[in-house]
Amino acid sequence: MSEEKKTVLNVEDLTVAFNMYQKGAFKKTDLEVIHKLSIDVKEGEIVAVVGSSGSGKSLLAHSILHILPKNAKVGGKIEYCGKELDDKYVKELLGRDIAFIPQSVDYLDPLMHVDKQVIGVYGNKERQREVFDRYHLDERVDTLYPFQLSGGMARRVLISSAVMEEPKLIIADEPTPGLNVEMAMETLNNFRELADKGTAVLMITHDIDLAFEVADRIAVFYAGTVVEIASTLDFIMGRGFLRHPYSAAFVDALPQKKFKPIEGTQPYAGNLPSGCLFADRCPYRDDECAGEIPMRDLRGGKVRCVHAT
Amino acid sequence: MQLKAENISFRYTDDGPFVLKDITLEVNSGERVGIVAPSGYGKSTLAKILSGYRLPEEGKVLLDGKPLPMTGYCPVQMVYQHPEQAVNPRHRMDKILNEAWQPDDELLRKMGIEKSWLTRWPSELSGGELQRFCIARVLGPETKFLICDEITTMLDVITQAQIWHLLMEISEERNLGMMIITHNMSLAKRVCTRIVDLTKLNNVHSHTHTHIHDHEHGDEDHVH
Amino acid sequence: MSTHTHTHTDKKRFEFNRKTFVTMMVIFAVVYLVGVGIWGLFMDPESYAVNYDAKFVSPNFDHPFGTDFMGRDMFSRCIKALSNSLIIGVLASLFSSFIALFMGVASAVFGGWVDKFVNWCVDLCQGLPHLVLLILISFMLGKGVNGVTLAVIFTHWPSLTRIVRAEVMQVRSSQYVQAAYKMGKTKWQVAATHILPHVIPSYVIGLILLFPHAIMHEASVTFLGFGLPKEMPAIGVILSESMDYLATGKWWLAVFPGLMLLVAVVLFDVIGDNLKKLWNPQSGNE
């Protein structure tokens, strides 16, 4: 892991709020769902974002790609190769330099055969067949419409379209549910190959085993922000090597580790405490935790905690 | 008591490939049987058949030698993978919780359900909180067996550990029989008293495997 | 990327956003329509009595909409007519929607031959040209108020039946309904606690969007002479009478009643469409 690797994706202090009506009221309030999130992905690197589903992980992908719903307010900075990634720029890059693997087949055009969609503007038929073969999609699949695909097939079509070219950045939102073990491993190996050729991969998943398998670094998502980013090795080694008390609790709760839970629940959007989001469940809590907690560098990783050593 | 699947076979269409073939297994009260297999081996289908949501094409599901009742409260209850789909989004949590019976404060405390959650709507709770409600509402005194279909797959690992610890406690206290469906072997080893490998038990031919998979998803799409 | 940063809660009493605008539109439309309906209902028949001294007066301050060949004040007569049309239309739509609700729920809940039968009825009704069926039924029942009302009732349920059926089918296959059955709930309990509350929003919108159809069709059938009797103030009657005098330049006899009908129909659409926007979770937060 040399230092001179270029940062492909850099997200700094991303904040996303939804402007919503309260139940039965006529006034709109902002419901903050992502709070000052920072994450970066370098070339040739797979970064996994892990956390419970529904905690706002997908919104990170949607913010980067500018596909949030209309009532979302976005703050902070998103950069691609050092240049601000605005709405226009992302449309220019999407499909060639940036590939997105969405969670659902709804992102496909329902009125178009899947092979044509996968080939898109830049691809060709041979390459498409090659990729489909790799994902065990035979020729009959080429001329199917999206609604005719089963869950697993749809997932494989979506992955195929992302790896058609050699994109510089892949954003994968839960790429493997619905795939059998072999297909899931094939997908991960494919990501690894692309990463080894220089592609940056941001993989959003709730499956920690998956992250352990291929990721170079793991970002832990808690209550709408990233509390720690560290190398996968630190996570495998266990709590002593981690920085944030939540990451440590997270690893302790894994069935393959101690299977020991801490008490309490994650605070949810609209009800987030000021200061440290984990404070109410943290054994090291003190007055300092009530202030704004910045993300800081620590032992080759990053952490959002004032007490971490 | 014993819940028994006897030579169960199932397929989604009359001429389609079998998803389950000749499955025989039993769960006794107080047992926590893990069914472990990767996706595509008909785990969810088996769960639906054992809890009476679907009828097998061949074979029988027997509770102490008698078939499951078709009406009234079913002594075999199922908890789903996606709690947000298993509750009516238009009902408040207290209504959802009390749909079948009135759990007492003691159970709510044990389940980690806070009183203030009862007046909220499902959209105002997280998946882990909702799942606690989904479990509590089927723990009525008539429930003898609980089928858990990947119930913590979508939750974070801390909530997962919390829920399993209390389910293990309750199953021992009440001598409840449980069937735990999961793809996660390390989880199964932690919580189950016995583990069954469905890939060995299910007698469908391996070359039909991808079809099974596709059909299972086709079916799930209908349900959504 | 937009650079607004987060969380500022408005402390203002009143906020002008899409929700308040849409709500105001709905309130305005409801007030107008209910107002016209009630005004007409309690109107003194003297205000549109025959007065041969004032035949064919063109619009002025005393008679904003002019008078007709019998010297009746067209403004009062229009209000009364529109009120009649509204009341008949609303009544007919209501009964029609009850049929739709019953058929839609029954077809989805019981399935099997009930479903087949309901679909057959829907296809049968939708297969025939709407107006022809209306005229046929109204004529068969001896025209008049009863004829036209029943004709509208019996021809307007199919599209709403389809909507209700689809909604019920969707909620019926949901996990929470299946779970309710396993928790020992009967079909009727499930219908009352889960299915009806899910169907009601689409049903109400469907019902509101049915009003303009019913009113238009009632007016059309009456215009063609198969509906309300000549002596009753009705938009259809007024319009068909005006046809005789249009060529002689009595433009006000057709224009004002026509406009009144048009405005009423558009306002119903405004209510239905805006409620749809408010209740739809996708557009509800804009």
What is the number of residues in chain B? 224
Q: Is C201 on the interface with B (CB under 8 A)?
A: no
Per-residue model confidence (pLDDT) at position C161? 93
Residue B168 clears pLDDT 90, i.e. is over it: yes
Per-residue model confidence (pLDDT) at position B211? 40
| Amino acid at site A103 | Q
Which residues of chain B have a CB within 8 Å of the CB of A23? 121
| Domain residue ranges of chain C, discontinuous segments joined by + | 18-43+72-279
Nearest 5 degrees, angle CA A96-CA A97-CA A100?
Answer: 80
Low-confidence ranges of chain A (pLDDT < 70): 1-4, 22-26, 53-55, 178, 268-271
Nearest-10 crossing angle of helices B157-174, A245-253: 40
Contact B78 C179 (CB under 8 A): yes
Q: CB of B220 within 8 A of CB of A154?
A: no
Q: Using DSSP, state whether B59 is helix, strand or coil.
A: strand
Per-residue model confidence (pLDDT) at position C12? 47
Per-residue model confidence (pLDDT) at position B207? 38
**CATH for C18-43+72-279, options being 1.10.3720.10, 1.10.10.10, 3.40.920.10, 3.40.50.620:** 1.10.3720.10
Q: C255 vs C284, which has greater pLDDT?
A: C255
Contact B87 C180 (CB under 8 A): no
Per-residue model confidence (pLDDT) at position B94? 92
Looking at A280-284, B158-162, C1-5, C261-265, which range is the least confident one?
C1-5
What CATH number is associated with residue B202?
A: 3.40.50.300
Q: CB of B27 within 8 A of CB of B33?
A: yes
Q: B75 vs B220, which has greater pLDDT?
A: B75
- B7: closest CA among B56, B43, B78? B56
In angstroms, the CA A44 to CA A8 distance is 9
Residue C217 clears pLDDT 50, i.e. is over it: yes
Q: Is C20 on the interface with A (CB under 8 A)?
A: yes
Which residues of chain C have a CB within 8 Å of the CB of A67? none
Reported confidence tier of residue C7, pLDDT bands at 50, 70, 90: very low
Q: Give chain B's domain count.
A: 1
Contact A180 B186 (CB under 8 A): no
Closest partner CB to B158 (pick from A23, A181, A262)? A262
Q: C67 vs B176, which has greater pLDDT?
A: B176
**For A119-176, what is each residue's pLDDT tens digit?**
877 778 888 888 888 888 888 888 888 888 877 788 888 888 888 888 899 999 888 7
Reported confidence tier of residue C179, pLDDT bands at 50, 70, 90: very high
Backbone angles phi, psi at A278, to 5 degrees: -100, -5
Contact C175 B72 (CB under 8 A): no
Q: CB of C103 within 8 A of CB of C157?
A: yes
Residue B124 lies in a domain: no
Residue B129 lies in a domain: no
Q: Which of C167, C176, C177 would best serve as a mutation to test chain B binding (most B beta carbons within 10 A)?
A: C176
Residue B214 clears pLDDT 50, i.e. is over it: no
Helix H, strand E, coil C: the string for chain C is CCCCCCCCCCCCCCCCCHHHHHHHHHHHHHHHHHHHHHHHHCCCHHHHCCCHHHCCCCCCCCCCCCECCCCCEHHHHHHHHHHHHHHHHHHHHHHHHHHHHHHHHHHHHHCHHHHHHHHHHHHHHHHCCHHHHHHHHHHHCCCHHHHHHHHHHHHCCHHHHHHHHHHHHHHHCCHHHHHHHHECCCHHHHHHHHHHHHHHHHHHHHHHHHHHHHHHHHHHHHHCCCCCCCCCCCHHHHHHHHHHHHCCCCCHHHHHHHHHHHHHHHHHHHHHHHHHHHHCCCCCCC
Closest partner CB to C5 (pick from A15, A20, A66)? A15
Reported confidence tier of residue C11, pLDDT bands at 50, 70, 90: very low
Q: Which of B90, B149, B220 would best serve as a mutation to test chain C binding (most C beta carbons within 10 A)?
A: B90
Q: CB of A306 within 8 A of CB of A244?
A: no
Mean pLDDT of C35-60: 80
Residue B151 lies in a domain: yes
Per-residue model confidence (pLDDT) at position A32? 82
Mean pLDDT of C57-68: 78
Q: Which two tokens stand for residue C270?
A: 């405004």
Residue B180 clears pLDDT 90, i.e. is over it: yes
Contact A32 C8 (CB under 8 A): no
Reported confidence tier of residue C21, pLDDT bands at 50, 70, 90: confident
Which residues of chain C have a CB within 8 Å of the CB of B138? 179, 183
Could you tell me how far CA B78 lies from the centroid of its own chain?
Answer: 4
Looking at B1-5, B200-204, C202-206, which range is the least confident one?
B200-204
% of residues, chain A, pLDDT over 70: 94
Mean pLDDT of C89-104: 91
ipTM over 0.90: no
| Residue owning tokens 């309750």 | B170
Least Cα separation, residue A12 to chain C (angstroms)? 13
Residue B106 lies in a domain: no
What is the average pLDDT value for chain A, to the nearest integer? Answer: 85
Q: Is C15 on the interface with A (CB under 8 A)?
A: yes
* β-sheet bridge partners, residue A200: A169
- Which of residues 47 through 66 in chain A touch C, CB cutoff 8 A? 66
Per-residue model confidence (pLDDT) at position A63? 92
Q: Using DSSP, state whether B135 is helix, strand or coil.
A: helix
Q: Which two tokens stand for residue B171?
A: 């199953």
Q: Using DSSP, state whether B29 is helix, strand or coil.
A: coil
What range defines the domain where residue B211 resides? Answer: 2-82+143-223
Let me know if C228 is exposed, middle or buried by CB neighbors in 10 A (0-12, 13-18, 19+): buried
Per-residue model confidence (pLDDT) at position C1? 39
Mean pLDDT of B123-142: 88
Per-residue model confidence (pLDDT) at position B109? 86
Mean pLDDT of B166-174: 92
Residue B116 clears pLDDT 80, i.e. is over it: yes
In angstroms, the CA C26 to CA C182 distance is 42
% of residues, chain C, pLDDT over 90: 14
Per-residue DSSP letter, B217? H
Which residues of chain B have a CB within 8 Å of the CB of A268? 124-126
Which residues of chain B have a CB within 8 Å of the CB of A209? 184
Mean pLDDT of B62-76: 91
Closest partner CB to C183 (pick from B88, B100, B223)? B100
Least Cα separation, residue A91 to chain C (angstroms)? 13
% of residues, chain C, pLDDT over 70: 92
